[in-house]
Structure 1
Amino acid sequence: MKNRASAAVAAALLVSLAAPVSLATAAPAPASSDTLDLTLLATTDLHGRVANWDYFSNAPYSDRAGDSVGLASVASVVDDVRAEVGPEQLLVVDNGDAIQGTPLSYYYAVQEPVHETGEVHPMAAAYDAIGYDAQVVGNHEFNYGLDLLDAYEDDLGFPLLGANVLDAETGEPALEPYTLVRRHVPGHKPVTVGILGLTTPGSAIWDKGNVEGRLEFQDMTEAAATWVPRVRAAGADVVVVLSHAGTGASSYDESVAPPENPSDVIARTVPGIDVMVVGHTHLDRPSQVVTNEVTGEPVLLTQPYRWGSTVSRVDLSLEKVRGQWDVAAAEASAIRTKDYPESQEILDLVAEQHETTVDYVNQVVAQSTEELSAVTSRYEDTPIIDFIQKVQTDTVDAALEGTEYADLPVLSIAAPFSRTAVFPAGDVSVRDIAGLYVYDNTLHAVTMTGAQVKDYLEYSNKYFATVPAGGTFDPARDTGAGNTPDYNLDILAGVEYEVDLSQPVGSRIENLVLADGTPLADDAQVVVAVNNYRRSGGGGFPHIASAPLVYDEQKEIRQLLIDWAQERGVIDAADFWDESWWLTVDGVRVP
């Protein structure tokens, strides 16, 4: 990744780091000429969505709430508000996770990567046409490597920020830490808005293979404490922090990386911030106010809903205090993009890339002998999940031939990512397989002991609620306990086991044996195939992040599934389905 310390940042480092402007300064009632209104529009977590299109269903996107998605609808919102308030009183920002998440973004990262072809990234083209002022780098921006990220950054017509993303060699920011946007409304003194970008440090874990030795990720709160005063000292009247992080707990052990979601901590402890845009956690939280402990002043947090389903609107009322602009009031609301048409300009801009992606995902790669559905995969063993297990096991097993691990049993971990995934009887396309494996994970393998495998399964099966002896298991009621998402129910193949739901979490795994019926001894050594996200600590599962790595060829699991199906031409459950795990209640198997 290029070291992109901006001229503005270099200049800022030379100024005195005076205390940030006090937000508590009292002022007399301002005259009308001493007031100014600004509007900030913000999006987050677009994840590769330009059109309101579901590539997996080959149809317009739809959900129960009737929301729409994509930058084409966002564009209409921006055009409407820009016409309302005027271009000099509007700023538009994005909070990261832009270039991963759909077959469109996948295709131009892997199949025809823009850093090799020189083609403009479709997301960059859409953002530019809308007229964004700044964007922060999200954790998923690192998924495809730094060459692609560099190309995407070059395609943008505005700064890509990341104050806490550091060059591992120099310790300096690898991206522009902040940008200053100057607005001059006729009849008013110009106002300068400083926009600082921060991103979750979890990328050091989740994309270790892409960033290790090249980038480091500073604690977000520490970075904010360093850079907010510098942004103020560089002349910012208003400070907006783009925080690609949520509020609350981390999904990983914080001993291996700084906190994942400290947005509220930053607002509470770092003085000088007026507005924070929050993201990463895919929540719909248009307005939250946190009181800064240093100044006693409110800090407004706004989190737009993921995929462009909403645009956060922040209306700022400014007044002059001793000749300088100061934020007197800030209010946030959500604009739902379903109430706006898609911009034909944006659709036309990416039409060719969209059609290329549609053609790609509709390629038939194999014939399925029967329909295979994932709808019940979260509570019973299903062939479609065993398809993933088979491919992962075969890939690792073949790679370890001739090594010291060749004689160890190979287990495999997979999770039910989608309840709607299905292989129809007959033609199976790329989009059918991509709809089953919706993440761009690569395949790893580690060694673990039998005791560690059991611990791992115990942790995974906290997904289920406790069902008392004699009770009846209800999938609608008893799955996802404690708000555990489906993707955090890890299923193991290569072993057989039962999960007794009448027992407390941590004491549920019974009759754990290898596939040949041999009990899995605590000190037994096994190889475990697992995706890179889980292996790097995502989800906080025990032992896996520290387990010795024995396989990592950077092969994407989704592509391995496609290749396996395409090479054989037939998907037959008889070739891979092995019912090997069961739910029980007090020893009685759930029917």
Structure 2
Amino acid sequence: MNKTAICEILITSDIHGHIYPTDYRMAEDRNLGLAKIATIIERERQHAPDLLLLDNGDLIQGSPLASYYIKQQQQSDAPHPMVAVLNKLGYDAAVPGNHEFNYGRDVLRRVMAESAFPWLSAGIINLNTGSPAFGTPYIVKKIGPSADPIKVAILGVTTHYIPNWENPQHLKGLGFQDALKTTREWVARIREREHPDLLIVSYHGGFERDPVSGEATEKLTGENQGYAICREVAGIDVLITGHQHRFLATQLGEVTVIQPGCYGQALGKIVVEWEKQGDRWRISRQSAELLMVDESVNADRTILAMFSGLEAKTQGWLDQPIGQVEGDMRIHSPFICRTADHAFMEFVNKVQMEAAGAPVSCAALLSDESQGFGPTITMRDVLGNFMYPNTLTVLRLRGRDIRAALEQTAAYFVVGPDGRLAVNPAYVRPKAQHYNYDMWEGIRYELDIARSFGERVVKLTDPDGMNIEDEMEFEVVMNSYRAGGGGDYEMFKGKPVVREIGADMAELISDYIQRYRTIRASCDHNWRVTVDGTEA
């Protein structure tokens, strides 16, 4: 009888600081978080004690608990709570995601030093030495019987698109090499050096094409290269993906593919079986599935207890009233909010303009779950609306750049079969991208969605009604993600940077509210979206 063996690989990705099964906007429980994922991991360990446990990035940022730790607690000796959980659960490795850089290199260095596991990323290099910036880009694990172990190689790769979004100060001394090219080179190197029985690529990036049809699902910028990695790189057995927050468990050619969503809503599981043929182990079967977190999964009590004090302080911080609203600044419909000037978005733009000293601003409603501000504003409200630690950048733009940006933002809408305004499906699937629709202050404009793409800006003037000509110059403030061209705003790339504001938007908003205490909801109705001239 042939000798056989089996290996189980468990994967988390895009946890974004979520330990507790909590919706921090409402202080309600939800089926997510590492405490619930831990319960599933321990359950899997009961029948697969030699399993491999990997995290695919975007771990340390994204929840109020993570924000509170960074802003209030990180001077203590306590390790970052996300790292403490991964250490407790015995993770074998992690890959840095783009959001690992949000708090700067000092925070990232400390996080990595606190980790009992290696951080793998072949394509991020130290510019001074040309070597991988975070130590080894891959590890080799031996599993199964000690007399005849199975050799598993795990390569970490991170999307090289990070410089298009991140504060340049956070990336000093780092180079970001093309992820596809990096994967091809390192897979060949690992195959030649290590001769593994299984080669896993853990890639903090997603799919640029539909895994089934191969059709492009986004502009091929290089941000996501999962499809090309599967199709063009020989020697990969398993590809772990992330970044897009999708739920994927499939086979693409000979490669088993997984992407376990976000916030700890699912745990990825890959099972690989081998048969011994001569002196080599040969893969006989591979499978991928998502172990979803639901009501039947109880949160791990030990992990909840580890951070009960931090969680209590976070909740107290979130519930502190910091100001009042005079009028209505609530978002009753995110769709309607994006069709005409709204008091909440006008407020956001005014904060940006004051903080940066710029006469023109653009900003996005970051999520369809954003609710604006009610009569009393708390820190919970601020962080619920400003979940990303974006800083501000002032660019010097010409009139033609502003017009091009408005045409890009107008692509968010289409005219539906019923002749009414609708959201372009490309901004909903495969990943919701509502944050790539901008609303402007300091100019006046009208978008007519009945017109063809690229011809939708039918009005563009300054506040006094004078037409904005192509060569006119303006200082425009926007978040750092957009200033780098994020969201396909190519017209912003390489434009002169007038100044940068180091504080993130949540801090700027909360400081503004606490300074003025009472915020008056107002709206100058400087822009609107129409369909053939009729308001949407």
TM-score, normalised relative to structure 2: 0.92
Q: Is the 8 A contact 2:344 2:373 kept in 1?
A: no
Alpha-carbon deviations, 1:169-213, whole Å to 9, x = none? Answer: 110001120112222337x62222111100100112212513444
Task: State yes or no: 1:58 paired with 2:30.
Answer: no
What is the CA-CA distance between 1:110 and the residue it aligns to? 3.1
Q: Distance in 1 between matches of 2:533 and 2:5?
A: 69
**Contact 1:74 1:308 (C-alpha < 8 Å) held by counterparts:** yes
**1:343 alignment counterpart:** 300
- 2:506 aligned with 1:588, yes or no? no
The CA distance in 1 between the partners of 2:113 and 2:395, in whole Å, is 37
User: Secondary structure of the equivalent of 1:455?
Assistant: helix
The AA in structure 2 aligned to 1:227 is: W
Q: Which runs of 5+ in 1 are unaligned?
A: 1-30, 62-67, 291-297, 401-409
Give the conservation status (yes or no) of the 8 Å contact 2:103–2:170: no
Partner of residue 242, structure 2: 279
Matches within 5 A, 1:8-157: 31-32=1-2, 34-61=3-30, 68-85=31-48, 87-88=49-50, 90-112=51-73, 114=74, 116-157=75-116
Letter paired with 2:105: L
Answer yes or no: is 1:415 the counterpart of 2:415. Answer: no
The corresponding residue for 2:525 is: 579
State yes or no: 1:320 paired with 2:320: no
Match of 1:239 among 199, 208, 215: 199
User: For the residues of structure 1 that align with 2:232 and 2:458, how far apart are their CA atoms?
Assistant: 47
Paired with 1:425 and 1:273, the residues of 2 have a C-alpha distance of 51
2:40 aligns to what SS in structure 1? helix
Counterpart Cα distance in 2 of 1:424 and 1:105: 22
- Provide the rounded CA distance (Å) in 1 between the counterparts of 2:53 and 2:517: 48
Distance 2:187 2:247 in 1: 26
> Any residues of structure 2 matched to 1:458-473 within 5 Å, and which?
458-466=407-415, 473=420
CA contact (8 A) 2:200 2:236 kept: yes
Quickly say closer, same or farther: Cα 1:42–1:74, change in 2 above 3 A.
same
C-alpha distance in 1 between matches for 2:195 and 2:414:
54
2:116 is paired with a residue whose SS is coil
1:266 counterpart residue number: 229
Inter-partner Cα distance in structure 1 for 2:45 and 2:223: 34
Report the CA distance between 1:481 and its aligned residue.
4.3
Distance apart, 1:135 and its partner CA:
0.9
| One of 423, 429, 447 as aligned partner of 1:479 | 423
Deviates more, 1:335-344 or 1:103-112: 103-112
Q: Whole-Å Cα distance in 2 between the matches of residues 435 and 482 of structure 1?
A: 25
Determine if the alignment matches structure 1 residue 226 to structure 2 residue 185. Answer: yes
2:128 to 164, 169, 190: 169
CA-based RMSD = 2.0
Q: Identity of counterpart residues, as a percentage?
A: 31
Greater C-alpha radius of gyration: 1
Does the residue aligned with 1:566 lie in a helix, a strand or coil? helix
**TM-fit CA distance, 1:516:** 2.3
CA apart distance, 1:235 = 5.1
Which secondary structure state, in structure 2, belongs to the residue aligned with residue 152 of structure 1?
A: helix
Match of 2:440 in 1: 492
Residues 240 and 435 of structure 1, relative CA distance in 2, 3 Å threshold: same
Whether the 8 Å CA contact 1:370–1:424 is kept in 2: the answer is no
Counterpart residue type for residue 431 of structure 1: R
Q: What is the match of residue 448 of structure 1? A: 397
Asked if structure 1 preserves the Cα contact closer than 8 Å seen for 2:60 and 2:82, the reply is yes
Change (3 A) 1:214 1:385: same
Q: How far apart, in 1, do the equivalents of 2:266 and 2:407 lie?
A: 38
Q: State the distance in 2 between where 1:318 and 1:520 align.
A: 67
Is this contact kept in 1: 2:160–2:179, CA < 8 A? yes
**How far apart are the structure 2 equivalents of 1:462 and 1:60?**
36
* Aligned counterpart in structure 2 of residue 428 of structure 1, from 357, 377, 391: 377
Aligned residues: 519
8 Å CA contact retained: 2:415, 2:531: no
Residues 35, 358 of structure 1: CA spacing in aligned structure 2 closer, same or farther, 3 A cutoff? Answer: same
CA–CA separation in structure 2 for the residues paired with 1:425 and 1:278: 38
How far, CA to CA, are the matches of 1:423 and 1:466 in structure 2?
A: 27
Moved more, 90-99 or 507-516: 507-516
TM-score between the two structures when normalised by the length of structure 1? 0.84
Moved more, 118-127 or 515-524: 515-524
Distance 1:442-1:424 versus aligned 2 partners, 3 A rule: closer
- Contact in 1 for aligned 2:124/2:177 (Cα 8 Å): yes
Offset of 1:423 from its aligned partner?
4.7
Q: Post-superposition shift, 1:560? A: 0.6
The CA deviation string for residues 125-182 of structure 1, in whole angstroms up to 9 with x for no partner, is 1111122111111111111111111111112111111111100111000112011222
Q: Distance in 2 between matches of 1:423 and 1:448?
A: 29
The CA distance in 2 between the partners of 1:272 and 1:134, in whole Å, is: 21
Q: Alpha-carbon deviations, 1:417-461, whole Å to 9, x = none?
A: 133433554321011122122211001111111122111101110
Kept in 2: contact 1:458–1:509 (CA 8 A): yes
Kept in 2: contact 1:251–1:540 (CA 8 A): no
Alpha carbons of structure 1 residues 45 and 211: separation in structure 2 relative to 1, 3 Å: same
Stretches of structure 2 lacking an aligned partner (at least 5 in a row): 209-215
Q: Specify the SS of the correspondent of 1:307.
A: coil
Q: Which position in structure 2 is the counterpart of 1:330?
A: 286
Following superposition, the deviation at residue 229 of structure 1 comes to: 3.4
Q: Distance in 1 between matches of 2:446 and 2:379?
A: 34
Q: What's the secondary structure of 1:160's corresponding residue?
A: coil
